[in-house]
């Protein structure tokens, strides 16, 4: 690829500042030309730090999308707006990189896929763990058949006490859920991708809100407000796939176990296993 891509950022909060914009600024074939946030000062700060000379600032994403020179949009807003902004971006003729999770609901996700197909534009979701060196190496092993038929997988995203207390992470309306939709989604995507198995037959799951109501609880990111903790603190599931394979999903922000870590996959096949 030789073309320099002009990129617009919608949502200049934590994930945009922590991951997207610093990485994009390092890419010779990317120019950050437009920034949008409902808090204008955040967009202005992002433009000053990461933007090219003359980068534009917006508070309404619809106005940003009217700029026909932009090639790609990075959607870095709360989960409840992913679908609306992504569909509008695709329909404005732009490719989209949307932060995970794809959307809050299946209907919203389908609308995004239909818009991408209808417009012929590319849509990707930020499941970056697929591109880790260890993940790509293991993917090659799986594709070569070294594990045989993979009939069991475990998707793990377990924190002992690391509840994100900033932004809208504890807001069910905007976030759509707790650790499952935040870090569990990374682990599940990685496991499904490694298994190359995306067709579920049945799902059994449970969510728990056992620790989020506590005051002054120890937490890696500082204390949370129990009154604002509107999502689950742990979620677990058992998935049976159409081909008979099973996947166990475990996710938590706060669980009384030894911390396991995030975006981990365990695989078992007829010829071998991997973790």
- CATH architecture type of domain 130-274: 2-Layer Sandwich (3.30)
What is the pairing mode between strands 246-252 and 234-241?
A: antiparallel
Backbone φ, ψ for residue 153 (5° rounding): -140, 150
Q: Tell me what pLDDT residue 6 has.
A: 98
Q: What is the mean pLDDT of each run of 10 residues along the chain (275 residues)?
A: 89 96 96 98 98 98 98 98 99 98 97 99 98 98 98 98 95 96 98 96 98 92 95 98 98 95 96 97
Q: What is the dihedral of CA 199, 74, 264, 274, to 10 degrees?
A: 70
**Which top CATH class is 5-126?**
alpha beta
Calculated CA dihedral for residues 219, 221, 224, 228, nearest 10 degrees = -130
User: Taking the domains of the chain in order of start, what are their residue ranges?
Assistant: 5-126, 130-274
Q: Which of 268, 227, 234 is nearest to 254 (CA)?
A: 234
- For residues 237 and 226, give the distance between their C-alpha atoms in angstroms, rounded to a whole number: 25
What the block records as the tokens of 176 is 């759509």
Distance from CA of residue 76 to its chain's centroid?
A: 10
Which residues contact residue 41 at a Cβ distance below 8 angstroms, ignoring those fewer than 6 apart?
none
- Distance CA(180)–CA(203), nearest Å, equals 14
For residue 235, the model assigns a pLDDT of: 99
């Amino acid at each position: 690829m030789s073309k320099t891509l002009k990129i617009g950022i919608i949502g200049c909060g934590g994930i945009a500042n922590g991951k997207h914009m610093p990485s994009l600024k390092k890419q010779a074939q990317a120019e950050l030309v437009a920034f949008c946030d409902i808090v204008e000062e955040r967009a202005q700060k992002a433009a000053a730090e990461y933007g090219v000379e003359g980068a534009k600032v917006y508070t309404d994403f619809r106005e940003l999308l009217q700029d026909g020179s932009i090639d790609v949009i990075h959607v870095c807003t709360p989960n409840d707006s992913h679908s609306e902004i992504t569909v509008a971006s695709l329909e404005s003729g732009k490719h989209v990189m949307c932060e995970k999770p794809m959307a809050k609901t299946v209907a919203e996700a389908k609308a995004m896929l239909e818009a991408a197909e209808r417009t012929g534009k590319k849509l990707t979701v930020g499941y970056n763990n697929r591109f880790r060196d260890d993940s790509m190496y293991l993917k090659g092993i799986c594709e070569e058949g070294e594990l045989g038929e993979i009939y069991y997988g475990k998707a793990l995203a377990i924190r002992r006490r690391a509840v994100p207390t900033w932004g809208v992470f504890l807001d069910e309306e905007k976030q759509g859920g707790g650790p499952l939709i935040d870090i569990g989604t990374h682990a599940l995507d990685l496991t499904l991708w490694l298994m190359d198995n995306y067709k579920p037959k049945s799902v059994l799951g449970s969510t728990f809100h056992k620790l989020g109501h506590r005051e002054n609880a120890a937490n890696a990111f500082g204390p949370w407000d129990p009154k604002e903790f509107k999502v689950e603190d742990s979620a677990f599931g058992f998935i049976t796939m159409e081909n008979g394979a099973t996947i166990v999903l475990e996710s938590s922000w706060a669980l009384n176990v030894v911390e396991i870590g995030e975006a981990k996959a365990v695989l078992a096949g007829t010829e071998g296993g991997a973790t």
